[in-house]
């Protein structure tokens, strides 16, 4: 066991530093650091040694590069057009582990332009780019591709380009966290292939506009594979077509806006299981499960969790957002990913996280099903405009786990779940990233995001406001919408009737959490309580519930000392339920 602990400690430190370098996604960091949340403390000296060495290297790379700006910024070559649809054609060569095909990018023109930018990793080849049958000139700079149109494209018009490409996409070293293709085989020696690209981006394997704020309105995927294999992608499946060369093309249509990194293909010897879920209003949702041939009975048993989960999420978040495209779980050779309407499932039909009970509560549910499905609301429907706001995806989705626990069990169990991993939060980097350079925030965004939202719930202090507000956010105001930090803060301020601006700023934009300092003085049978917040935000004024003896009080500390006199106190202890408020607390001498 000690070897496992050492490896986990190394992974924990290694992933933390690589977040600073933007080499891995936040999900890798979160999952790596929370699988063994309790054992790591036995190897703190090893952690500090490894972390210190890697941090020294990370600090040498503070500046952003031209490639970062091309990847993350909204430059004129991007803002000039709005993607309407993608029509992606793929041919998968399982022997050479390569792909080829084309993508028709249809767009509406926002401003007059002659040059637009698309994105495709430099290791992938572009044979030609055409428009209306005319070959276009293009040049490549890092992973950006600048395409010259044959004439000025006027604002308000519709047009398209077709990009023909091929190559060997990056092979994922440790999917889904190191993005790329996974080329493996099932137990019978048949090819089993999948792709995952959150963080690193969809342009590692197909030409696209790599911009979180611009999702296509709809999309089609045509995937050609050797006969005997099946390609499962997002959305609804149309009849397949066979070719004389011994291949089959599978056709999939996505009828909703979709994040580029959610677009996925999965190839293997899949068996299709079908079921339905009936919504509260009587509508029927198609449930489709694509599993390895030998796992049919395991899947039937494990996926019984789906219907009660969907009922919980419908109650608190609204109906499943991609209703017409159906809900699917697709077995993959890696752990999982929130691919829209076609969730990657690789938890091997175990409870918890890969069989690990991360919360220590012995709750018998499959973490991957519950978490990745939560992303259908948070991340897939409510999306961020810039990778810097990935905390919106991950923080709200992790909080959705707590919603599920409260729905299936009770409030107290949910509070225990929310706080189960609080000691894994480092609070040494902000959970918001840097705008315009494709840089997400710290991996704390998962657990800290959940703890922060739980804090907001209790700051507002009224579930009759909280739950309708959360449901309105996911089901109405921001449904199928890309948002940013300011949008979210404005929404909470408006719907709660409170000014929560400074609360958001402290928890999202600063690494540390607020500390409640207090001191107690007895005088003539009375108790004088002095208190304040220690926080990075000027004027931080978050309400807090405390108890002194048999008196329950709501106070509003600021960064300046305040006093409150308690007459006839039955006890001089100040009790703070820090399960409800994610804070530090410190009693100081009078």
Q: What is the dihedral of CA 379, 490, 452, 530, to 10 degrees?
A: 180
Is residue 539's pLDDT more than 80? yes
Structural contact between residues 553 and 546, judged by C-beta atoms closer than 8 angstroms? yes
Name, in order, each residue with C-beta under 8 angstroms of 285's C-beta and a sequence gap of 6 or more.
Answer: 276, 277, 278, 279, 310, 320, 323, 326, 327
Is the CATH number 1.10.390.10 carried by domain 377-513? Answer: yes
> What percentage of the chain exceeds 70 in pLDDT?
89
More confident residue, 230 or 574: 230
Bridge partners, 274 (sequence order) = 288
Residue 62: predicted pLDDT: 55
25 three-class SS: coil
**Separation of alpha carbons 570 and 160, rounded Å:** 75
Identify the weakest region by mean pLDDT among 2-6, 86-90, 308-312, 358-362. Answer: 2-6
Is residue 205's pLDDT more than 90? yes
**Separation of alpha carbons 370 and 359, rounded Å:** 14
Instruction: Work out whether strand 125-131 and strand 158-167 pair parallel, antiparallel, or are unpaired.
Output: antiparallel
pLDDT in tens, 281-319: 999 999 999 999 999 999 999 999 999 999 999 999 999
Token digits of residue 144: 């950006």
pLDDT in tens, 149-189: 999 999 999 999 999 999 999 999 999 999 999 999 999 99
Structural contact between residues 580 and 545, judged by C-beta atoms closer than 8 angstroms? yes
Token digits of residue 98: 């390569």
Enclosing H/E stretch for 407: helix 390-408
Structure letter (DSSP) for residue 512: S
pTM over 0.95: no
Residue 432: predicted pLDDT: 98
Mean pLDDT, residues 347-351 taken together? 97
Q: What sign does the dihedral 31-22-372-302 (CA atoms) show?
A: negative
More confident residue, 442 or 572: 442
pLDDT-based confidence at residue 349 (cuts at 50, 70, 90): very high
Is residue 59's pLDDT more than 60? no
Q: What angle do CA 508, 511, 517 make, to 5 degrees?
A: 100
pLDDT in tens, 390-407: 999 999 999 999 999 999
Is residue 236's pLDDT more than 90? yes
More confident residue, 590 or 389: 389
554 backbone φψ class: left, alpha, beta (φ>0; ψ -120 to 50):
beta
pLDDT in tens, 477-527: 999 999 999 999 999 999 999 999 999 999 999 999 999 999 999 888 889
Residue 550: predicted pLDDT: 84
Backbone angles phi, psi at 387, to 5 degrees: -55, -25
Residue 572: predicted pLDDT: 80
Structural contact between residues 270 and 345, judged by C-beta atoms closer than 8 angstroms? no
Nearest to 79 by CA among 206, 211, 200, 202: 211
pLDDT in tens, 92-150: 999 999 999 999 999 999 999 999 999 999 999 999 999 999 999 999 999 999 999 99
**Separation of alpha carbons 82 and 214, rounded Å:** 7
Is residue 590's pLDDT more than 80? yes
Is residue 8's pLDDT more than 50? no
- Enumerate the domain spans of the chain: 1-63, 377-513, 515-587
Burial of 484 (C-beta count, 10 Å sphere; 0-12/13-18/19+): middle
Residue 522: predicted pLDDT: 87
């Amino acid at each position: 066991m000690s070897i496992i602990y050492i490896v986990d400690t190394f992974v924990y430190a290694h992933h933390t530093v690589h977040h600073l370098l933007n080499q891995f996604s936040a999900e890798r960091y979160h999952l790596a650091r929370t699988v063994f949340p309790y054992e790591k403390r036995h190897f703190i000296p090893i952690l500090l040694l490894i972390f210190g060495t890697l941090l020294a290297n990370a600090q040498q790379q503070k500046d952003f590069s031209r490639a970062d700006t091309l990847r993350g910024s909204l430059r004129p070559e991007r803002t000039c057009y709005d993607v309407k649809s993608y029509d992606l054609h793929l041919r998968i060569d399982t022997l050479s582990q390569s792909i080829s095909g084309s993508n028709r990018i249809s767009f509406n023109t926002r401003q007059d332009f002659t040059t637009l930018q698309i994105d495709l990793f430099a290791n992938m080849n572009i044979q030609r780019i055409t428009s209306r049958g005319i070959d276009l000139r293009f040049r490549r700079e890092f992973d950006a591709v600048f395409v010259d149109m044959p004439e000025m494209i006027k604002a308000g018009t519709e047009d398209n380009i077709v990009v023909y490409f091929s190559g060997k996409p990056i092979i994922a070293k440790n999917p889904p966290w190191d993005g790329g293709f996974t080329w493996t085989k099932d137990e019978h020696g048949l090819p089993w292939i999948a792709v995952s690209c959150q963080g690193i981006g969809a342009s590692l394997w197909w030409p696209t506009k790599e911009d979180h704020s611009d999702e296509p309105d709809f999309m089609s995927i045509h995937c050609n594979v050797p006969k005997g294999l099946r390609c499962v992608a997002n959305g609804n499946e149309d009849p397949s077509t066979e070719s004389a060369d011994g291949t089959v093309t599978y056709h999939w249509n996505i009828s909703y806006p979709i994040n580029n990194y959610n677009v996925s293909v999965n190839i293997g010897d899949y068996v299709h299981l079908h079921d339905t879920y009936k919504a509260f209003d009587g509508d029927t949702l198609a449930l489709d499960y694509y599993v390895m041939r030998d796992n049919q009975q395991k899947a039937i048993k494990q996926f019984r969790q789906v219907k009660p989960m969907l009922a919980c999420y419908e109650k608190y978040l609204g109906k499943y957002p991609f209703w017409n495209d159906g809900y699917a779980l697709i077995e993959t050779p890696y752990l999982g990913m929130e691919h829209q309407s076609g969730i990657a499932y690789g938890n091997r039909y175990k409870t918890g996280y890969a069989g690990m009970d991360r919360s220590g509560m012995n709750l018998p549910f499959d973490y991957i099903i519950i978490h990745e499905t939560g992303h259908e609301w948070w991340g897939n429907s409510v999306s961020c405009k810039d990778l810097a706001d990935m905390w919106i995806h991950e923080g709200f989705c992790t909080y959705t786990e707590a919603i599920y626990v409260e729905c299936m069990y009770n409030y107290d169990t949910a509070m225990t779940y929310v706080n189960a991993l609080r000691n894994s939060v480092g609070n040494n980097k902000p959970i918001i990233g840097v705008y315009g350079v494709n840089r997400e925030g710290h991996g704390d965004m998962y657990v800290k995001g959940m703890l922060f939202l739980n804090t907001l719930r209790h700051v507002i202090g009224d579930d009759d406001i909280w739950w309708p507000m959360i449901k309105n956010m996911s089901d109405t105001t921001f449904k199928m919408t890309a948002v940013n930090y300011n949008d979210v803060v404005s929404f909470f301020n408006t719907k709660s009737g409170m000014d929560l601006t400074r609360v958001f700023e402290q928890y999202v934009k600063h690494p540390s959490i607020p500390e409640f300092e207090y001191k107690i003085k007895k005088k003539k049978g009375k108790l004088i309580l002095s208190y304040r917040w220690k926080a990075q935000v000027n004027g931080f004024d978050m309400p807090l519930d405390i108890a002194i003896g048999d008196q329950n009080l709501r106070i509003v500390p600021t960064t300046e000392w305040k006093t409150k006199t308690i007459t006839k106190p039955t006890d001089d202890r100040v009790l703070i339920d820090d399960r409800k408020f994610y804070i530090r607390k410190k009693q100081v001498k009078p």
